[in-house]
Amino acid sequence: MTIGQNSEYFRDVRIGVIGGTGLYSLDGLNVIETLAVETPWGQPSGPITIAETERGHKIAFLARHGPSHSVLPSEVNYRANIAALKALGVQAILAFSAVGSLREEISPGDFVLIDQIIDRTKGVRADSFFTGTGVTAHATFGEPVSAGLRTLVARHAAAVPDISVHTSGTGVCMEGPAFSTRAESNLYRAWGASVINMTCIPESKLAREAEITYAIVCMATDYDAWRESEEPVTVAEVMHTMKGNAANAKTLLLALLPDFEDAVYNDAARALMRPEAGSMQYAFQQPPEKQSAAGRATLNFLFPQYFTV
């Protein structure tokens, strides 16, 4: 099904949730529809589930790696994922991701609300909506994660009392799918990084380009490879911790949803989304008459207010 951004039925789906490894569905919400969305950048990782909260608001849920975890981190169509959510009306995304801990104090099972990101991907991922369009643009990315949404999530840490929720940190995004060598893991520790994953880049960059407020809950599964006293991380170790992480993620999400809904639907000042809303207005380098007509038609899917056709 091809769904345009101006579709009346979906205009009020303002909250998006992206599930990471181990989090493939939402509990405690009324599922009303499952959609296959086409975008100019292809299809997202899987169908998007539209669920309804107790207050009657709609939420869009997307499993980053597909509902059966069939998509590797480097193969995720991040552009289609973000574009599809934007087309449904999503204005704020809370993402979840499995990560390795680079700090003793971040135990397996803990959550980290990172505020900074180091990009260690290798340039094989499509990381901009503007690539190949003949339209040049530069998004600001000094603060890659929404401080407001991080704060909102942190207020509900008590919902998961058996773990620690760390309210800041730096995440490294590596290419994968293999885990780090011990030397790499120690290098990232020397840089001051807190956790490591394989998906927050380009997901966070694309959310910024799409003017979507974005934060990510990093769910620690292991100590990566830096601990000399332990064997390097194994898939079996990750899978064991992941089950508990998924349960805690669902508990945390249900606890924070009322505040999230208030911020997105009921705040007339739109304070949560204000830093990202309209942030691309002055990002374009060429006058409209110098931009590719085909590129403008493609970008109209995301930015009808900037690219008329």
Q: Which residues are catalytic?
A: 222, 224
Strand partners, 196: 100, 172
Percent of residues in the chain assigned helix, strand, coil, to nearest 5: 30, 20, 50
Give the C-alpha distances (Å, rounded to integers) separating 216 from 59, 133, 178, 221, 249. Answer: 16, 29, 22, 15, 11
Q: Which residue has the tokens 């643009």?
A: 137
Contact status, residue 49 vs residue 25, Cβ threshold 8 Å:
yes
The three-state secondary structure class of 99 is strand
Is 295 within 8 Å of 135 (Cβ atoms)?
Answer: yes
Instruction: Identify the H or E element spanning 30.
Output: strand 30-35
C-alpha–C-alpha distance, residues 235 and 253, integer Å: 26
The rounded distance, in Å, linking the Cα atoms of 89 and 6 is: 8
DSSP H stretches of helix in the chain = 78-87, 147-154, 182-190, 200-209, 235-261, 293-299
